[in-house]
Amino acid sequence: MKQGIHPKFNQVIFFDASVGYKFLSSSTKSSGETMEWEDGNTYPVIRVDSSSASHPFYTGKQRDTETGGRVDKFKQRLAQKK
């Protein structure tokens, strides 16, 4: 592999401020903001809009927007023609 062309790989804290959830992971992204982790070390912080703790799909609070979807509408049109 060529030297000097690959991004630096660091430990960072991903922080979802909407629910206060944070986790430590590896990433090539970095930030000027830092935060102390549970192990006593300080890591860069990446703020995210949603995470598994706040996204409706993972929390089970997802809404069904389609009630009586396309199949039901097709069956109704088919029944009207008969």
Contacts of residue 22, defined as CB under 8 A and 6 or more positions apart, other chains included, come to 13, 14, 15, 16, 35
pLDDT in tens, the chain (82 residues): 788 898 888 999 999 888 888 999 999 998 899 999 999 999 999 988 878 777 767 677 766 555 567 888 888 888 988 7
The Cα 9–Cα 62 span in angstroms is: 35
Helix (H) or strand (E) holding 35: strand 34-36
**What pLDDT score does 56 carry?**
67
Alpha helices (H) along 1-82: 56-59, 70-81
